[in-house]
Amino acid sequence: MIEAIESRDSTYAGLFVVAVKSTGIFCRPGCPARMPQRKQMEFFPGPKQALKAGYRPCKRCKPTASKDALPPQVEKLKELIEENPMQRVTQKDLKEIGIDPSTARRQFQRYYGMSFHNYQRSQKLGSALQALRSGESVLNAGFDAGYDSASGFRDAFKEVFGAAPSEARQQDCLLASLIESPLGAMLAVADERALHLLEFVDRRRILTEIDMIRKDLKSVIVPGSNSVLSLCEQELGDYFAGTLEEFKVKLRPAGTEFEQTVWDELQRIPYGTTLSYGELGERVGHAKAARAIGRANGANKLAIVIPCHRVIRADGNLSGYGGGVWRKKWLLEHEQERKQTNLFK
């Protein structure tokens, strides 16, 4: 492992991480940061163990990024789509910018869980749906989306959205985006009005939650971005940097009346502080309903922005957390540390 670190061999990425005792930071193999002395190195099987030991992730190699850091070829592909969502990127286009098409397809599938072709199509059809709902004609929307025939556009549109383009004005569309964080990738889902989902991608319930949102809102979800998702990503970045304590992004959590009451109260817990399940129960008028309070916390689909991580047991035990207790510990320590730092400023 020492030899892999000193030779900056990135082929070992994913097998272990190295922490540096003198800086309190951990990295993936191949990191371009300054080489630590051997006596300062400490090794862990993965980011989870390093975080639990109190180390912080390196900002250069991003060792907590999902499925390794975004490969350069995937980054280029993503930039191509974002610059012009309606552009049809061909194999010839990829070769002209120095990307091997077969390698790009494999890497894109590995990172996003769908092919580059499907990602492109979803982006185009999502944009076409927005255009149709803004009053654009079916013919123009299909042409702008890169379809040569109305029938081809209609068939593709119906396959994704379950409705013909002419019925699009009644079809809601949610956009989904991956957001990297020091604790791993998060999936954010929003419409133009509010954020509906923000979860760590490895949470067990995430597929169930996505399905619930689809059914509740009678909507479809496609890859993309909008002003709500952009603000969410910006505010999360500021939160993890320690410069933001209160989120402004608009939220629209779906739940029962009791759950909504609990979630409203969660947002009143000050940054850098905690509350017991019993205390939270008293605040919502159900002092003896600690279990129901726990279930409402677990049903929260908006991690961090609705801070269910700030609720702990009366004896100080962190108890459970949908994203993993290790993340809950990290978030609480991060907030308390930043709060202390701000007090001394």
Q: What are the pLDDT digits (tens) for 310-332?
A: 999 988 888 888 888 888 988 99
Catalytic residue among 58, 173, 232, 308: 308
pLDDT at 328: 92
Closest alpha carbon to 223 in 323, 322, 114: 114
Q: What is the pLDDT of residue 110?
A: 65
pLDDT at position 95: 82
Continuous H helices in the chain: 2-6, 47-52, 72-83, 91-96, 101-112, 116-133, 138-144, 150-161, 206-217, 227-241, 257-266, 277-283, 290-298, 325-344
- pLDDT digit string, tens, across residues 203-244: 878 888 988 888 888 887 877 789 999 999 999 999 998 999
Blockwise average pLDDT, block size 10, the chain, 345 residues:
88 82 91 92 86 84 67 74 70 80 72 71 74 78 78 78 68 82 88 94 84 84 86 95 94 93 96 93 86 91 96 88 87 88 61
Domains of the chain: 2-57 (3.40.10.10), 72-170 (1.10.10.60), 172-345 (1.10.10.10)
CA of residue 161 relative to chain centroid, distance = 23
pLDDT at 134: 72
pTM to 2 decimal places: 0.67
Task: Count CB atoms within 10 A of the CB of residue 79.
Answer: 10
Phi, psi of 223 (to 5 degrees): -65, 145
Report the alpha-carbon angle 243-244-248, nearest 5.
Answer: 150
pLDDT value of residue 40: 94
308 noted as active-site residue: yes
With tokens 């990297």, the residue in question is 180
pLDDT of residue 170: 62
